[in-house]
A and B are shown apart, each in its own frame.
Chain A
Amino acid sequence: MVKGVVEMYDLLSLKIKAAQIRKKLLQMIYQAKTGHTGGSLSCVDILVSLYFGVMRIDPKNPHLPDRDRFVMSKGHSVEALYAVLAQAGFFSEDELGTYCAFNSRLTGHPTTKVPGVEVNTGALGHGLAVGVGMALAGKIDKKNYKVYVLMGDGELDEGSVWEAAQVAAHYKLDNLIAIVDRNKLQISGFTEEVVRLENLEKKWESFGWKVLQVDGHDIDGLIDVFKSIPTAPYLPHIVIAHTVKGKGVSFIENKKEWHHHVPSEEELRKAMEELDKTLQELRNDA
């Protein structure tokens, strides 16, 4: 594995981006009075790593045939995705203010009306199969693009995920990378208490996947892992990204209530303060 793919100043700028995106998505949820706070915060670093450190994309040409594809299978974390897409330049950041407003194209789950969104998602357990289709098309066309599918850990309860996993291994889709946002919480509580998921690594291995594990908030580590793929020929890869639901705001972290709790004015103020402090510390490091 190549270490230190991202230069120091780049890494810092990505960390700053991540904090800014956390601020932005909280503002979107506060303004819209709806959203999925915890899961959006937990996947920010994964998205930042992919969109700013790994994927070959051109935000001005979102349909380039050779682009890498990203499927947001955990569609409820849409606020993080929209904020990242806007930051990347797929559309104006001003538009984020229309999130969930009447007649806005920024619907409360991803839709292809939004530049950069590859498929409408929101019902869990769909994205991996769609990603398998995209990866198969890449093989048929002998293209070398990669397909990334981000799933929630609670989403792995869905049987359709495992159907798709089986087919991906059968077709030896080493251009397919699934990512699990392993924040260990779902709407009703801890995943291991709702319906036990572990041993996830063994499950995926037994389905014929190459399993990689990483700290889902270590942008440097995430980029290293993504860039190392494929680490095994002819195998689809899954990156189990260990995350904290609500990451970045101490009073939101690791609390099931924040799955779709909307911050009050006071909670938003405190969250912004905390994230501003994080940003200040990052800038001081620079």
Chain B
Amino acid sequence: MMPDKMPVRVAIAERVLQLAWKDPQIVVVTSDARGSAAIEKFFETFPDRSIETGIAEQTATGISAGLAFSNKKVFLFGPACFYSARSLEQVKNDIAYSGANVKIIAVSGGVSYGPLGSTHHSLHDVAVYRAIPNIAVILPSDAYQAAAMVDQIAEMNQPVYVRTGRNPVPFVYSSENDSFKFGKGNVLKEGKDIAIFATGEVVWHALEAAKILTSSGINATVVDLPCVKPLDEDLVLQIARATKRILVAEEHSIHGGLGEAICSLLCRSHPVPVEIIAFPDEYPVTGNQSQVYSHYGLDFAGIAKRAQEFLRRY
């Protein structure tokens, strides 16, 4: 029987291992993050295709590019906090600018390291990656979607940044089927009063928030947008026209994430009121991921409350 929750990073590692049996070009690189990225089994199973650089994210990134230039399909695993800051120049130049076929699987992202603090948080990663040309940005919402995503991006000859959390997340989907299509969003629930867009592990909270709203007579649309870049602009516009009120929830800084991407699109094409639930421009309070979510109103209760306030104003 399937558990009711599973870490997204584990689902990705398991699927990469499965694909590697069929595809000899798949290589895994990491920087002393075998445990946190759940790739020990890959290292045991395919030692010749497992590259360990030690605690050296810049070199791991450059090496990944070099492998990709020699026709390897590279999955580079490591913590999001390091792969969105320390090795960012290598990501920009060696991978994205040079067009290296590397999938960066950035684990333990957002605030999922919880009380370890801001050195280990990555609340800026979507913003910086969005501004780098030629790299896609994906935040899977559950383990099913993550596995389906791996199948698709493994076949794509282009750089991708995937951000996952660390902790088990409840399933949003009931199977891999229809859970992921590159560049597309999924409407998980339809309602006419307001639309909640979410990405990554906040999606489950958005769905739960919609249930609370339903019980108070508010019908919300909930949309999962795993691809922040490229954004499913057609879907966002279609929903904005239908509901006229947009709430965005994301585990990211208020600056430069999904919320601003949506605002930018809507300002250009179909202005409607938008509220963004994200992290303010400060270093977050100490606490585990769910405590921090709750503090900043990113959990289901906070999202539902914000939606109700929003609807009172508009």
Q: Which residues of B contact A167 (CB under 8 A)?
A: 53-54, 56, 59, 63
Q: In the assembled complex, how far is the CB of residue B314 from the closest CB belonging to chain A, in whole angstroms?
A: 47
Query: A118 to B210, alpha carbons, bound, how many Å?
Result: 51
Q: In the assembled complex, how far is the CB of residue B164 from the closest CB belonging to chain A, in whole angstroms?
A: 24
With A129-B62, A163-B59, A164-B63 in contact, is A137–B70 under 8 Å at CB?
yes
With A130-B63, A163-B53, A167-B53 in contact, is A118–B93 under 8 Å at CB?
no
With A126-B90, A166-B54 in contact, is A118–B62 under 8 Å at CB?
no
Which residues of A (38-64) have their CB < 8 Å from a CB of B? Answer: none
Q: Which residues of A contact B64 (CB under 8 A)?
A: 133
Task: Determine if B93 and A129 form an interchain contact, defined as CB atoms under 8 angstroms apart.
Answer: no
What is the number of residues of chain A that contact chain B, defined by CB distance less than 8 Å? 34
CB-contact partner of B93 in A122, A131, A135, A170, under 8 A: A122
- B94-102, B187-195, B250-258 - interface stretch: B94-102
Task: Determine if B66 and A140 form an interchain contact, defined as CB atoms under 8 angstroms apart.
Answer: no
Q: Which residues of B contact A123 (CB under 8 A)?
A: 89, 93
Determine if A112 is an interface residue (Cβ-Cβ < 8 Å): yes
Task: Determine if B27 and A164 form an interchain contact, defined as CB atoms under 8 angstroms apart.
Answer: no
Query: A65 to B89, alpha carbons, bound, how many Å?
Result: 27
Q: Which residues of A contact B62 (CB under 8 A)?
A: 126-130, 132-133, 160, 164
In the complex, the chain A residue whose C-beta lies closest to that of B74 is A133
Task: Determine if B27 and A130 form an interchain contact, defined as CB atoms under 8 angstroms apart.
Answer: no
Determine if A119 is an interface residue (Cβ-Cβ < 8 Å): yes
CB-contact partner of A126 in B48, B67, B94, under 8 A: B94
What is the number of residues of chain B that contact chain A, defined by CB distance less than 8 Å? 30
Which residues of A (79-124) have their CB < 8 Å from a CB of B? Answer: 111-112, 118-123
Q: Which residues of B contact A134 (CB under 8 A)?
A: 66-67, 69-70
Task: Determine if B49 and A132 form an interchain contact, defined as CB atoms under 8 angstroms apart.
Answer: no
Q: In the assembled complex, how far is the CB of residue A114 from the closest CB belonging to chain B, in whole angstroms?
A: 12
Q: Which residues of B contact A141 (CB under 8 A)?
A: 70
Task: Determine if B59 and A129 form an interchain contact, defined as CB atoms under 8 angstroms apart.
Answer: yes
Query: A178 to B99, alpha carbons, bound, how many Å?
Result: 23
In the complex, the chain A residue whose C-beta lies closest to that of B29 is A133
Task: Determine if A140 and B72 form an interchain contact, defined as CB atoms under 8 angstroms apart.
Answer: yes
Determine if A136 is an interface residue (Cβ-Cβ < 8 Å): yes
In the complex, the chain A residue whose C-beta lies closest to that of B96 is A120
Which residues of B (68-108) have their CB < 8 Å from a CB of A? Answer: 68-72, 89-90, 93-94, 97-100
Most buried by B among A111, A123, A126, A130: A130
Determine if A138 is an interface residue (Cβ-Cβ < 8 Å): yes
Determine if B112 is an interface residue (Cβ-Cβ < 8 Å): no
Query: A147 to B51, alpha carbons, bound, how many Å?
Result: 18
Q: Which residues of A contact B51 (CB under 8 A)?
A: 136, 171
Q: Which residues of A contact B58 (CB under 8 A)?
A: 125, 129, 159-160, 163
With A130-B94, A132-B63 in contact, is A138–B89 under 8 Å at CB?
no
In the complex, the chain A residue whose C-beta lies closest to that of B66 is A133
Determine if B172 is an interface residue (Cβ-Cβ < 8 Å): no
CB-contact partner of A130 in B48, B54, B66, under 8 A: B66
Q: Which residues of A contact B231 (CB under 8 A)?
A: none
With A167-B53, A167-B59 in contact, is A119–B70 under 8 Å at CB?
no
Q: Which residues of A contact B196 (CB under 8 A)?
A: none
Q: Which residues of A contact B98 (CB under 8 A)?
A: 112, 119-120
In the complex, the chain A residue whose C-beta lies closest to that of B100 is A119
Q: Which 4 A-B pairs have the closest CB atoms?
A: A133-B66, A129-B62, A137-B70, A133-B63
Offer 18 A-B interface pairs, CB within 8 angstroms, sorted by A: A112-B98, A120-B93, A120-B94, A120-B98, A123-B93, A126-B93, A129-B59, A129-B94, A130-B62, A131-B66, A133-B62, A133-B70, A134-B67, A138-B70, A140-B27, A160-B90, A164-B63, A167-B56
